[in-house]
Amino acid sequence: MFTRVAIIGLGLIGGSIGLALRRSGAASEVVGYDLGKGVSDHARRIGAIEQAYTALPDAVRGADLVVLATPVGAMHALLQDLAPALTPGTVVTDVASTKRQVLAWAEKFLPSSVAFVGGHPMAGKELSGVEAADPDLFCGRVYCLTPTAQTNPAALEMVTTMIHALGARVRFLDPAEHDKQVACISHLPFLASTALVQTVANSPAWGEMALLASSGFRDVTRLAAGNSQMYRDICLTNGEAIVQCLDDYIETLQTLRSMVAAGDRTIENVFVEAQQERLRWQASHDQAEPNCGGNGKKS
């Protein structure tokens, strides 16, 4: 049970954490802060927080848990600003997409009187902003925590309690391992999708081709409509792992290219293998999504 949870950054993720935490009854008070004009008032109106603060120090003062729900690009400045305002004993956690860099900043800026636990919920939506906040967003989803040898065990337990209150499943990962894995299953798909749009849009026939593009094109390119600034910051903080995945991807494409150029019928075997992997993944993914909702009922 939390006395006071402060959520910094009230977008899709921060707003959804507020809604889910308040529904769960795990926190006596959930308060929030957001730089955006009117955002924290909106969050209060939809019930994601009980109180909106206009100054960061006021929001985090006396909180037992502070959740930093901003994109990774905002973390450097936020951790610096936050440091002098935190009450000793506060546990701080974040939701940013990459972890090694955030942990280094937390180590550098936060006082030793507060404990930091890196986190990353594997949940999202096409929509962003507090308007899209949803108490079921984390329901049955994996929520990564990246403790290190320095992580305070009590703080880790506290963040784990929060994650369970959200209805999510905790997964512990080494920060570097986390960054490598999301580079492949999250950052690479975005870059593959973006590069596909770029490739076709740079073709002189794009105006014509656009009329022929159908559901397959739509699905593969959906990620390219994602938040450009967030993905820039992901690239800036996870470059090494992303480059490795991109190299593997380019090599795979070059192999396929050679097979197509040679008219190699055995390319079908490659397609079958990928198809089977994709179907297996989808089946296990579907199975892993349980029902959710406050107090056992679907809201």
Interface with its own copies in residues 276-295 (CB under 8 A): 277-279, 281-282, 284-285, 288
Contact (CB, 8 A) for 23 and 299: yes
Contact between 272 and its own copies per CB under 8 A: yes
Specify the residue, 107 or 264, whose C-beta has the smaller distance to its own copies. Answer: 264
Specify the residue, 55 or 185, whose C-beta has the smaller distance to its own copies. Answer: 185
Could you give the string, one character per residue 54-93, with x where binding to its own copies holds by CB under 8 A and - elsewhere?
----------------------------------------
Rounded-to-integer distance, Cα 50 and Cα 41, Å: 10
What angle (nearest 5°) sits at the alpha carbon of residue 145, between those of residues 74 and 51? 55
Which parts of 147-176 interact with its own copies (CB under 8 A)?
171, 173
User: What are phi and psi for residue 78, nearest 5 degrees?
Assistant: -65, -45
Region binding its own copies by CB under 8 A among candidate stretches 20-28, 40-48, 89-97, 263-271: 263-271
Region binding its own copies by CB under 8 A among candidate stretches 39-47, 57-65, 77-85, 256-264: 256-264
Rounded-to-integer distance, Cα 91 and Cα 100, Å: 18
Specify the residue, 81 or 177, whose C-beta has the smaller distance to its own copies. Answer: 177
Q: How near is the Cβ of 63 to its own copies at its closest, in Å? A: 29
Q: How near is the Cβ of 123 to its own copies at its closest, in Å? A: 7
Region binding its own copies by CB under 8 A among candidate stretches 56-64, 88-96, 160-168, 245-253: 245-253
For its own copies, the binding residue among 123, 133, 166, 168 (CB under 8 A) is 123
Q: How near is the Cβ of 53 to its own copies at its closest, in Å? A: 30
Rounded-to-integer distance, Cα 66 and Cα 3, Å: 11
Q: How near is the Cβ of 30 to its own copies at its closest, in Å? A: 25
Q: How many residues sit close enough to its own copies to count as binding (CB under 8 A)?
A: 93
Please name every residue paired with 91 in a beta bridge, in sequence order, or none if there are none.
65, 115
Specify the residue, 32 or 167, whose C-beta has the smaller distance to its own copies. Answer: 167
Residue linked to tokens 């957001």: 34
β-strand pairing of 142-145 with 119-121:
antiparallel
Which parts of 182-241 interact with its own copies (CB under 8 A)?
182, 184-186, 188-203, 205, 208-226, 228-229, 231-232, 235-236, 239
Which parts of 18-37 interact with its own copies (CB under 8 A)?
none
Dihedral class, residue 34 (left if φ above 0, else alpha if ψ from -120 to 50, else beta): beta
Specify the residue, 54 or 275, whose C-beta has the smaller distance to its own copies. Answer: 275
